[in-house]
């Protein structure tokens, strides 16, 4: 079970990193009218990073504290 959690956590971390990279490349600028242009890549990226970190910690805890 811990191995599956690690795979999902790595996928979530990678998805979050890609989402934040796309946000920084395509959005996040101030246009000519002074309006900040943002997208949903920013919150989705942070949510995926947090989810990946939590799943990684749970997988690590399951691996370290499994019964003998």
d(CA 52, CA 7): 10
Q: What is the pTM of this model?
A: 0.81
pLDDT of residue 50: 97
Percent of the chain with pLDDT over 70: 96
Tokens of 2: 């811990």
Q: Please, what's the largest Cα pairwise distance for the chain?
A: 64
The domain locations on the chain are: 2-64
Residue keyed to tokens 């019964």: 67
Q: How many residues does the chain have?
A: 68
pLDDT digits (tens, 9 = 90+) for 28-53: 788 889 888 888 899 999 999 999 99
The residues, any chain, with a CB within 8 Å of residue 27's CB and separated by 6 or more, are 37, 38, 39, 41, 42
Residue where the block lists tokens 């919150």: 43
């Amino acid at each position: 079970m811990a191995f599956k959690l690690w795979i999902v956590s790595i996928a979530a971390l990678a998805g979050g990193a890609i989402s934040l990279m796309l946000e920084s490349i395509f959005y996040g600028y101030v246009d000519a009218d002074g309006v900040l242009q943002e997208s949903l890549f920013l919150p989705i990226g942070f949510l995926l990073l947090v989810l990946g970190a939590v799943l990684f910690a749970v997988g690590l805890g399951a691996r370290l504290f499994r019964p003998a």
